[in-house]
Each structure stands twice: as C-alpha cells, then as structure tokens.
A and B are shown apart, each in its own frame.
Chain A
Amino acid sequence: MRFTLNGNPADVAAHPMARLLDVLREECGLTGTKEGCGEGECGACTVLVDGEAVCSCLIPLAHVEGAEVTTIEGLGAAHPLQRAFMDEVGAQCGICTPGMIMAAVTLGTRPSLATIRTRLAGNLCRCTGYEAIYRAIRRP
C-alpha cells in the first residue's frame, strides 16, 4: 500500500483493513500517535489525511492509498504549536497531546476560543481541564 507519510513516500505491506493507527505505530515505528478509546470518541489517535483531522483508529489502511498522511512526528519539534504546548504546560499525562496538536493544526492561526471549543470537542483530556491547552493553541 503506497501513500505519503510526513512528506515522504511510504510503501507498507499490511492488510488493507489494518487500522491506520496500528500501521503507523507497528509498521512505520511512529509511536507518537496514541491509542485512547479505540472507538473514535477521544481523538488521541488524531492524524491528518489529506489535511483533514481523522481518528486513525477508525481508518482502514486501504482508505489512505495515495493519500497524504501527517502524524505528530511530521510536524517536527520546532513547530510553534509544539513549543506553545510546552510553554503553557498544555500536557500532563501526555496521552491526548499529539491528537490535540494534530486537531489544532487544522484550525489555522489564532482561532477564536469558540472555534477551538467546537473543533476540539472530539479530543478529550482527563488531566488538564483544557484551559492550558486552549491557551497554547491561541498563542502561536
């Protein structure tokens, strides 16, 4: 199965119905993407497919053939959102953080608080109470 992974061509020999989440973590060694609920409720496994946020636990590998997949590793440590999450301490246990950042990337620069609340409704955090996360997203 061929697709573009973080800007580079990828060719993975895995079952077409394998979850994108498992392929990323186990075939591609990209363990930044986390499994939370495994049923599309928590958003921890959020990655971008052709620029749109999706839950990688609900994506069959066959659905990314020829697509562009971006994971947290693809943003790089220097990305302003990564820096803002560290500066604002927008993470505690850290499981939701890669998904939060990948969802936030799709919101453009300086989104309103209302936009953040609506668009990140599919990303759950059980530690922070969200305030530090919202501060981090509004900062860059």
Chain B
Amino acid sequence: MRTAVSTLRLLEPRNLAEALRMLRDEPEAVPLAGATDLYVALNAGGPGPRQFVNLWRLAPLRRITMPGDALSIGALATYTALIRSRLVQRRIPMLARAAQEVGGMQIQNRGTLGGNIANASPAGDTLPVLAVAEAMVVLRSAGDERRVPFGSFYTGYRRSARRPDELITAVEIPPIEGIQWFRKVGTRAAQSVSKVVMAAVRAPRPRVAVGSVAPTVLRLYHTEAALAAGRSIEEATQALESEIHPIDDPRSTATYRRMVATNLLRRFWSDTARG
C-alpha cells in the first residue's frame, strides 16, 4: 500500500447513532463500508481522506425488507446480497442483473449499494437502475433523517446532495410497472468499468437512464417523451444524442459512446417489444 498506514485513523462506532455522532463531530471523517473503492485509492497513494468511520459491523444497515409498498435496501447490502435476495429478484430484477456485472465475485462479496451511490462515479453500474426505479435515497444525520429523490441526488461530477455529516442508510424502491431492462457495455463482461451502461423500463411512460456519458448518471427525459408519444426510434435516438455529453477518456471515445448509447436504446426498444 502506497499510503503510510500510520497516517490513517479508523473510528469504530458500535451502532448507527454513534456513527452519526462521529460524522457530525469529525467533519473530515469518511464512511468506510466494503472498502472496494476507498482501498483502491489508498493503495494508489496520493492525497485523499485519512480518517474513516467503520460501518462494516452495523448489521441493521444490511437489511433488505418490504415495510410497505416500497422495497427498502440497506446501504450495506452487498452486490452478492442483492443477487441472492428474493425480494430484489422479484421487485427489481434489473438491479440483481446490474449487481452481477459489478467486478468479479470478490468485489461483489464486499462492495455495497450505498458505497456505489456515495462514490458518485458517473460509471456506477447500479446508478442508471436506481434512476429509472425513481428510488429515494435515505440520508440520516445525528439530528435528522431526510429522503432525496435519486433524480436530484447528484449535483455534479462526483458531487451529491449528501452532507459530510450525513450517511446514506438505505434506498427505497417504489413499485415498478413495466418490463425492466439493463445492459452494460465494457471491454469484457466482468471486472471492467463501463463504456456505456443503460437501464430502462418499458411501460406506457417509458423510463431510460444512462451512465458513463456525462458528469453524472443521466435520466433521458426527452428521449422518454419521444418514446411515450409514439415517435419513431430514430427520433428517440436523436433526442438521446442531444441529451448525452460523452467525452474521450482512457476507457473509450465520445464518438464510440454516442454510437453505443444509441444502439442500446434501439436494443432496449426491440428487446422489450411485445406482440
């Protein structure tokens, strides 16, 4: 590890209330869950957080439950837990599908849904799914609890509505009507960061969201409107092209991403056509 371990400090809360007090009292402290992102940064060295709050033992945050109409997924639920959960498979199979394409099984066994959200990468595999699911992000702080619609959670590249003293404790998924669809395109099926990742729901009012083509995950409202109005798929792809802002980076080029994103929209539409 290129970061000197002696420079690091790990706070060990015994329960959620204590973790929230630590985040309030230590503004520099960063929540540490499955460590699959944070330890990559620590291994690489360089600047970054040095103080962490260990969430791993806060078992209540792992629960996946259905307290009412909405499915509640604890922030510490791992990708493996999402893949195995009957509730997830039944209510939001596209999330189980996305979880299967995150890293290899070693990463799936430790990486968490809350971590994927908090890390705020525009390439996060579960993020387009949460966008089309119209999920609510549950944020707790020492004094408060609030719910932020996933669609307004990200405020810019790697920036979100979460304050440093807040913890993502759960995600709530309302019932989803329609056919769910997910596709990630990368250099290989597993263990790659996406070039483009798309989730969509085929319903009278279709929903489409896409990752890796803008500073944050994008919900494609104009594309959805074109599809809902019964316009041709060509017109819908034109709307998509006007909504995305892909760039050239080490993983891909803007031109290729545009082509793949429009192809994915076409594929979504033909895969989910009925009758």
Interface presence of B54 (CB below 8 A): yes
Contacts of A40 in B (CB 8 A): 36, 39-40, 103, 106-107
A residues 54-71 with Cβ under 8 Å of B? Answer: 54-55, 57-60, 62-63
> Contacts A17-B5, A62-B56 hold; do A119 and B105 have CB atoms under 8 A apart?
yes
Minimum CB–CB distance for B156 against chain A, Å: 26
Q: Determine the chain B residues whose CB is within 8 A of the CB of A119 once the complex forms.
A: 104-105
> Which residue on chain B has the smallest CB distance to residue A39?
B40
Over the window 9-30 of chain B, the binary record of Cβ atoms lying under 8 Å from chain A Cβ atoms (1 yes, 0 no) is: 1101000000000000000000
Scan B45-76; emit 1 where CB is below 8 A from any A CB, else 0: 00000001010100000000000000000000
- The answer to the question of A53 belonging to the interface, with a C-beta cut-off of 8 Å to chain B, is yes
In this complex, what residue of B is CB-closest to A46?
A: B106
Q: Which residue of A is nearest B52, CB measured?
A: A17
Q: With an 8 A cutoff between CB atoms, is B273 at the interface?
A: no
Task: Give per-residue flags for B234-246: 1 if the beta carbon is below 8 A from chain A beta carbons, else 0.
Answer: 0000000000000
Judge whether A12 is part of the interface by a CB distance below 8 angstroms. Answer: no
| Residue from A19, A53, A106 within 8 A of B1 (CB atoms) | A19
A57 to B106, CA, bound (A): 11
| Cα A106 to Cα B108 with chains together (Å) | 14
Whether B110 and A58, one on each chain, are in contact in the complex, defined by CB atoms closer than 8 angstroms, is: yes
What CA separation (Å) do A18 and B56 show in the bound complex?
15
Q: Quick check: is B190 within 8 A (CB to CB) of the other chain?
A: yes
B253 at interface by CB-CB < 8 Å: no
Cβ of B191 and Cβ of A62 under 8 Å apart?
no
- Check B190 against A62 for contact (C-beta < 8 Å): no
Asked whether B103 lies within 8 Å of A38 as measured between CB atoms, the reply is no
Q: Mark B72-83, 1 if CB is under 8 A from A, else 0.
A: 000000001000
A60–B39 touching, CB < 8 Å:
yes
CA distance in complex: A41, B35 (Å):
14
CA A54 to CA B44, docked complex, whole Å: 19
CB of B9, distance to nearest CB on chain A (Å):
8
Interface string of A55-89 (1 = CB under 8 A from B): 10111101100000000000000000000000000
Minimum CB–CB distance for B96 against chain A, Å: 14
The reply to whether A63 and B35 form a contact with Cβ atoms under 8 Å apart is yes
Tell me the smallest distance from the CB of B253 to a CB of chain A, in Å.
22
Asked whether, in the complex, the Cβ of A52 is within 8 Å of the Cβ of B12, the reply is no
Asked whether any CB of chain A lies closer than 8 Å to the CB of B8, the reply is yes
- Residue pair A54, B32 in contact (C-beta under 8 Å): no
Question: B6 at the A/B interface (Cβ < 8 Å)?
Answer: yes
Q: A18, A19, A58, A118: which contacts B190 (Cβ < 8 A)?
A: A118
- 8 Å CB contacts to B: which residues of A110-128? 118-123
When chains A and B are docked, how far (Å) is the Cα of A39 from the Cα of B188? 18
Instruction: Give B contacts to A, CB under 8 Å.
Output: 1, 5-6, 8-10, 12, 32, 35-36, 39-40, 42-44, 52, 54, 56, 80, 103-107, 109-110, 188-191
Q: A22-B1, A38-B43 are in contact. List 10 more A-B contacts (CB 8 A).
A: A15-B5, A15-B6, A17-B52, A38-B1, A39-B44, A52-B80, A53-B106, A57-B39, A58-B43, A121-B190
Per CB-CB distance, the 7 closest pairs between chain A and chain B, nearest first, are A122-B104, A121-B190, A58-B39, A17-B8, A52-B109, A39-B40, A38-B43
